[in-house]
Amino acid sequence: MKFQVLDIIPHVKNPVTGEIVSTADRLNQVVETARRAEELGFDSFSVGERHAGEFVSSSPTTVLAAIAAVTGRIRLQTGVTVLSVLDPVRVAEDYATIDQLSRGRLELVIGKGNEVLQYPLFGLSLDEQWDLLAEKYALLRTLWRKESVTWSGRFRPALTEPTTTTPRPFAGSPRIWHGSATTLTSAALAAKWGDPLFTANAIQPRGNYKVLIDHYREEYERHGHDPRHQYLGSGSGAGGVFIADTTQEAIRQYGPVYEALTASRNVPGNNSPFRDIQHAVAEGPALVGSPEQVIDKILSYHTLYNHDLQSISLPTTLPFEQQLEILERFALEVIPAVRASAPSTLWETEDPFGGRPEFAGATEADAAATVTADHAFNRSDTANVYAH
C-alpha cells in the first residue's frame, strides 16, 4: 500500500484551548509537513481546495508550488480540485506549471466539492454541479493530451481557434483521480474514463463507501478498461489521525478535541453519526488509537475496499510539534506493517504512470482534437447513495 498526507487547510481554533495560529503560520505548516512527510517516506502529499468556510485553501496551486520547491521525490496531489467551479483552460495551465516545477510529480484528484456556498460565489448553479464537472473534465483531459484543440460546450466560451495550453505537462498528461464521497456520480464518471477513484471514507459507516466502490468496479469493467489502471484510494475519517501508546490513552488525550469539533460541526463536510470518540473508534473510520489499533483498522478497510492508497490527515488544531510527532509515529510504526500485509503496484514499474511516460491508454474519445458538449454526464446517475 502507498500512503498520502492530505491537508485541506482548515483554519480553526482548538475547541478546547481556544488557540489558533496565524494564517501565515498555518500555510507554512502545510509546506513544512510536506517536507517532513517526504523525509519520512510517505508517497504523496495532497492539498485541498475550499472557497468557503473556515479554510485557507482557496489557492492550492500556490501551496503546491511552494511544496514543490522544498521537496524532490514525493508525489504532489490535490484533494480535491473543485473542477466544477474552475475554468479548465486555467486548470490545465496552472497545474502543468506545477508539474514542470516538480518534474512530473503532479497528479490531480478532481470533484465537485462538498461546499455548496462556492457555487453562488462563482456565479454557478448548484443544480448543474455534475454537468459542470463532466463537461469541464472532458475538456481538461483533452487539453493535456492534445494540441490545437477546438471545443464548444455549455459552460464556457468556445475555443474556436486551435488552442494549445502552455506550459505542456512535464512528461505526458498527469494522472487524474476522481474524488467520491456521497453519490454514485463521481464513481461512474471515473469508471467511464478508466480513471482511478478516491473514496472519502470520512464520516459515514464504511458500508456506504463500499456501495460507491462496488459501483465503480462494475462500471469500470462494463466500459472495458484495462484493469491495470483501476487504482483505488481511501481517506481515513474526519478529525485527523491520533496515535498514542494505547488506544485508551489516545481516546483520553484526543477525545475532548474530537468531540468538540464534531459538536461544533467544524469537521469539514460533517454530517457524521459518530458523535463521541468511543463510537468513532469502534465503528467509524477515525484512525485514533495505538499503532496496532490503527494498523488493524487500515487493514480492515483494505479487506473491504482492496485499496492501493491510504490517505491520512493530521489533527491540525493541535500544537504543530505534536502533529509532527504523530506523523513520525505513523511513518515508523504503522506504514511498514501495512505495506508488508497489503502490497500495491501503484507508482511501481507495473503502473503505467509509475515513471510518468506518455500515457498510451487513451480512449477513442481522446483521439479527436475537437471535443463537443456530448460528454455531459447522464443526470439519471446522480441519485444519492444515502441521504445527507
* 320-330 tens-digit pLDDT: 999 999 999 99
- Kindly report the average pLDDT of the chain as a whole number: 90
pLDDT tier, 265 (very low <50, low <70, confident <90, very high otherwise): low
Question: Where exactly are the structural domains of the chain?
Answer: 2-242+306-360
Please give the sequence-ordered ranges of beta strands (E in DSSP) within 30-103, or none if there are none: 44-47, 75-78, 81-82
Q: Which helix (H) or strand (E) holds 143?
A: helix 129-145
- Of the listed ranges 71-80, 119-128, 157-166, 353-362, the least confidently predicted one is 353-362
Report the CATH architecture of 2-242+306-360: Alpha-Beta Barrel (3.20)
Instruction: Compute φ and ψ for 149, nearest 5 degrees.
Output: -85, 130
Q: What pLDDT score was predicted for residue 355? A: 65
Q: Give the per-residue pLDDT at 221.
A: 96
User: Can you give the pTM of this predicted structure?
Assistant: 0.91
> So what's the pLDDT on residue 160?
98
- pLDDT score for 363: 40
- Report the pLDDT value the prediction gives residue 356, as an integer from 0 to 100: 60
- The pLDDT of residue 239 is 74
Mean pLDDT is lowest, of 80-84, 225-229, 244-248, 343-347, for 225-229
Query: For residues 378 and 2, which has the higher predicted lDDT (pLDDT)?
Result: 2
Band (pLDDT 50/70/90 cuts) for residue 134 is very high
**Section 210-232 average pLDDT:** 95
* One-character DSSP codes across 323-369: HHHHHHHIIIIIHHHHHHHS---TTSTTSTTSS-PPP----GGGG-S
Report the C-alpha gap between 4 and 6 in whole angstroms.
6
Question: Which of 100, 65, 342, 345 lies closest to 229, judged by CA?
Answer: 345
Is residue 203 predicted with pLDDT exceeding 50?
yes
- With CA atoms as reference, report the closest residue to 197 among 339, 59, 80: 80
User: What is the distance between the alpha carbons of residues 338 and 121, in angstroms, rounded to a whole number?
Assistant: 42
pLDDT band at 385 (very low <50, low <70, confident <90, very high): very low
How big is the chain, counted in residues? 388
Angle between helices 88-101 and 60-70 (to 10 degrees): 10
Tally of CA atoms within 13 A in the half-sphere of 219 that contains its CB: 21
Q: Is the dihedral of CA 114, 115, 120, 122 positive or negative?
A: negative
Residue type, 1: M
What are the grid coordinates assigned to 212, written together?
A: 460507491
Give CA separation, 341 vs 237, 337, 351, in Å: 21, 6, 19
Q: How far apart are the first and last CA of the chain?
A: 31
Other CB atoms within 10 Å distance of the CB of residue 205: 14
Strands 75-78 and 106-111: parallel
Other C-beta atoms within 10 Å of 143: how many? 25
More confident residue, 203 or 376: 203
- 3-state DSSP call for residue 110? strand
Distance between CA atoms of residues 360 and 63, nearest Å:
30
- All three cell numbers of 287, joined, read 484512525
pLDDT over threshold 70, residue 371 = no
Cα gap 244→264, rounded to integer Å: 25
Angle among Cα 98, 309, 60 to the nearest 5 degrees reads: 30
pLDDT band at 276 (very low <50, low <70, confident <90, very high): confident
pLDDT at 283: 86
Tell me the percentage of the chain whose pLDDT exceeds 70. 89
CA angle 134, 353, 87 (to 5 degrees): 30
Query: What confidence score (pLDDT) does residue 271 get?
Result: 62
Nearest CA among 72, 90, 213 for reference residue 159 = 90
